[in-house]
Amino acid sequence: MTIGLIVGREYSFPPAFLDRVNAIGRPHGITAEFVKLGGTKLDEPARYKVIVDRLSHEVEYYRGYLKHAALNGTYVINNPFWWTADDKFFNYTVMARLGLAIPKTVLLPQKGYPADVDILPESLRNLEYPVDWDALLDYVGRPAILKPFSGGGWKHVYKVHNREELLAAYDGTAPYCMTLQEFIDFDRYVRCFTFGKTDIVPVRYDPRARQYIIDHQYLDDELGARVVRDAQTINQALGYEMNTIEFAIKDGVPYAIDFLNPAPDFERDRITAHYFDMVVEKMANLVIDRALNGSPANPWPRWEEMTGLGRSSGFVGQPAR
């Protein structure tokens, strides 16, 4: 059985992960390697038992290949079908229905569109104009956070204090679709590593410095248990097995701020040597377990079932009335 890794410009995690999988997988007949692709045939059988995907969000060919591989029996971490469809605004909606603390959030019309898309005035006839920016700010509060509805790496994220700052930031966001979100003036902030949906490791995190801090007493037992439980709910609903989930904690309430990070940063110099060793070990054990016991259907999301909007309720697949 072969485990494959798709990865881009990462330095410390790939060799450490492959070495560890090869070391502990050998008694089970499991080996690990970088995935190698040079064109994928329609009738090509699955070449890998498990693939860990850390780059297909940036390379369309890889995403297309992973869907093909999953269809042919490869267990892919994370599920390429759901990752393709997912976005942060939808996630906020799902988790609000599941009872998690979510900041007030607004999905905004795009400021502009790709240069090769011909948008005529008639194409936007469904948009209200002008946008009532003051009303949106009144809803989420001031200050607020402007950020993409799908994306990561702290790109195109702005803190705005008034209408003028909001418009100045928004004017530079084309062609991205953005959200406007309540700013949680947190007193503590946690980023959770997650492995296999339910194995959750909350870590003290400084979002301003983007720095992990080793502090095992940062959360009391009750708050730590809630953070773990909420993170498990998120992963179980969305199907992610490799993820980081961020909570801004204010007055003892963990607000789920960001939980669409299916290719989280695993570089040693950024997550600390302590957490790097943990990540390598847990990821290696995860993929070996999936190679031995996993079913390709396991990573699919459960949000329909968990929110009561599944097929049994008549919500999905029913004609409009």
Parallel, antiparallel, or unpaired: how do β-strands 158-160 and 242-250 relate?
unpaired
Residue 91 lies in a domain: no
Same domain, 41 and 57: yes
Same domain, 132 and 80: no
Residue-wise pLDDT for 251-261, tens only, equals 999 999 999 99
Q: What pLDDT does 284 receive? A: 98
Q: What is the CATH number of the domain that holds 244?
A: 3.30.470.20
The last residue of a domain, from among 259, 279, 299? 259
Number of domains in the chain: 3
Question: How high is the pLDDT of residue 7?
Answer: 97
Distances (CA, A) of 229 to 100, 127, 201, 222: 10, 39, 11, 11
Q: Identify the pLDDT of residue 119.
A: 73
Q: Compute the distance between CA of residue 147 and CA of residue 150 in angstroms, rounded to an integer.
A: 9
Q: The domain that contains 158 carries what CATH number?
A: 3.30.1490.20
Q: Which of 245, 284, 258, 226 minimizes the C-alpha distance to 77?
A: 284
Q: Give the domain extent around 253.
A: 188-259
Predicted local confidence at residue 312, as pLDDT: 44
Is 203 inside a domain boundary?
Answer: yes
Low-confidence ranges of the chain (pLDDT < 70): 117-118, 152-153, 296-299, 310-321
Same domain, 175 and 196: no
- Structure confidence at residue 141 (pLDDT): 98
Q: Compute φ and ψ for 279, nearest 5 degrees.
A: -60, -45
**Model pLDDT, residue 316:** 35
> Within a domain: residue 268?
no
Tell me how far apart the alpha carbons of residues 120 and 133 are, in angstroms, rounded to a whole number. Answer: 23
Query: Of 182, 198, 226, which residue sits at a domain end?
Result: 182
Asked if residue 156 is part of any domain, the answer here is yes
Q: What is the pLDDT of residues 80-126, one digit of tens each?
A: 999 999 999 999 999 999 999 999 999 999 998 877 766 777 778 88
HSE of 157 in the Cβ direction (CA atoms, 13 Å)? 14
- For residues 194 and 150, membership in a common domain is answered with no
Which DSSP string corresponds to 143-207? Answer: SEEEEESS--TTTT-EEE-SHHHHHHHHTT-TT--EEEEE----SEEEEEEEETTTEEEEEEEET
